[in-house]
Amino acid sequence: MDTASLSGKELAAAINADTKERAAALTAAGAAPVLALVVANDDPASAWYVGSLRKAAERLGIACERIDLGADASVEAIRAELTTRSADLVTDAIMLQTPLPAGVHLDDVSTAIAAAKDVDGVSPLSLGLLASGLDGFVPATSEAVVELLKHHGIALEGRHVAVVGRSNIVGKPLAQLLLAENATVTVAHSRTADLAAVTAAADIVVAAAGRIGLVTGKHVREGAVVIDVGTNEDADGRIVGDVDAESVRGRAAGLSPVPGGVGPVTTALLMRHVVAAAEKSRA
């Protein structure tokens, strides 16, 4: 079986074109949209992603300020920065980059982000709005998975989707988005008993556990679609996904590449969220 490459580059380009136009309109009306990117780690994969965000913002006419708190930042220091930025009238949007320092959990600090500026949808309030079907910012990576599937004409209604990963920033919100599309969703993880049996029963498998090569050919039934959300650094310093792509090719009908699949769409959606936040704040 030929396995189609489910690239996200074309979709990201279309989203970015719209975002750039809207950002230019805001700039012409007074000031460029402003994103505060708060970082408290020294993780290589995170640094790669932060760099891609800053480059994307620059290309689209969005002002992006990186605030580096250090890999040993305390809960109090992170909350203080997020609280300050939430109250700052110049800052339109806030993103808190993960992973966080040892002993600091996302729930400990994300409540300090104002919902109107929580463009990556990480706070409990934003997640609650999503679960309730109410208006709010959706986690960009989760949204990117759904938009990428739609872009490639892959139906979700009535399909069985196995999401491997249960984080609050990808797995759980993705399950909510898929349910809203009338998919039947199974949320699995690295400790699921007989993970291969669970995923092999699905029409669509989404790997979002943050473990290199967790999903292999044995986890995928012939003709299924596989979306790889992973961005991990391997022993050679390359960014690789959660899927063992070589063993999946020839079995899956479609596979998203890493990099070039979910990643560019995630970045594009996040930038669109920044502009949307700016538009709302100035309305």
- Binding residues for NADP(+) are 165-167, 231
Residue 148 near residue 261, CB atoms below 8 Å: yes
DSSP H stretches of helix in the chain: 9-29, 44-60, 75-87, 106-109, 124-131, 140-151, 171-180, 195-199, 245-248, 262-281
Q: Per DSSP, what are the bridge partners of residue 53?
A: none
Burial grade of 51 (CB within 10 A; 0-12, 13-18, 19 or more): exposed
Strands 4-5 and 34-39: unpaired
Distance of alpha carbon 16 from alpha carbon 18, whole angstroms: 5
**267, 277, 282, 279: which is closest to 15 by C-alpha?**
267
Contacts of 54 (CB under 8 A, 6+ apart): 37, 64, 66
Distance of alpha carbon 79 from alpha carbon 161, whole angstroms: 36
Burial grade of 100 (CB within 10 A; 0-12, 13-18, 19 or more): buried
**88, 113, 115, 116: which is closest to 98 by C-alpha?**
113
Annotated binding residues, written as ranges, equal: 165-167, 231
